[in-house]
Chains A and B, each alone.
Chain A
Amino acid sequence: MIQGSCHCGAVRWQFEGQPDGATACNCTICRRYGVLWAYDYEDEGIQVSGTTQPYVRGEAIEFHFCPVCGCVAFWRAQKKNQTGRRRIAVNLRLAEPEAVAQIPIDHFDGLNTFEDLPRDGRCVADYWF
């Protein structure tokens, strides 16, 4: 299990097990946020707690950050899917660095093609700096 919290500690998340990858996306939002995402479903592999401020874009997803310290904690689907599950992804930058250092980076071209790009051998540790 991996845990994360914003800087002031008001918002927390918990990820069961170890993520297969951490997604770095180049869309206009993710590029600015500087986030590294790990995906699952709400109240299955991922639990979140604390008061957040949502930033809603379009009709599909909403980004949640701490209104006190501004750290981006997770994004979540606005609606559950046909099977009643709600997609969610947490920002691995809020975890202790040692807990996530070796997770490989998955590049996602959210700006243009909306497709996955090949892995380049980098892992989260390469992104701490």
Chain B
Amino acid sequence: MVYKGSCHCGRIAFQVEGTLNSATSCNCSICQRKGTLMWFVPREQLKLLTPDENASTYTFNKHVIKHRFCPNCGMHPYGEGVDRKGNAMAAINIRCLEGIELGNVPVTQFDGRSL
């Protein structure tokens, strides 16, 4: 299945291929603030429909995760990183997906604050 997503103003638009079975919610210092509901997919399953540079990038600590956000409307549609095996991954914020009922997606809690 292909899901479409965007920030609010449309500067960032994308589509994601895959099956959305659940999302992850994390309580670490940045996820706590952004309230993201994350769906992890291989980076190649995220196809940007707008130029990559349309999204600003925020990094901190080890600077290995790119927290991407729209510099115009402040939405945070996705992040980019590498998993333990070295595979490029994307964390899709399902709040920015069209055509889904957020309340119907099971949420797994991840205690990132304790790491």
Contacts and interface: CB of A to CB of B under 8 A. Distances in A.
B102 A7 contact: no
A7 B35 contact: no
Interface string A33-55: 11110000000000000000101
Interface residues of B, number: 34
Interface in A107-129: 127-129
Interface stretch (B13-21, B70-78, B80-88): B70-78
B38 to A, nearest CB: 11
A128 B25 CA distance: 8
B4 interface: no
B35 A70 contact: no
Contact of B8 (A6, A29, A68, A127): A29
A109 B9 CA distance: 21
Given A55-B73, A129-B25, A70 B107 contact: no
Interface of A: 6-8, 28-29, 31-36, 53, 55, 63, 65, 67-72, 91, 93-94, 97, 127-129
Nearest 7 A/B pairs, CB to CB = A34-B35, A70-B69, A65-B74, A129-B109, A129-B25, A55-B73, A69-B58
Given A71-B33, A128-B32, 12 more contacts: A8-B58, A29-B8, A31-B95, A32-B95, A33-B95, A53-B72, A53-B74, A55-B9, A69-B58, A69-B67, A93-B33, A129-B25
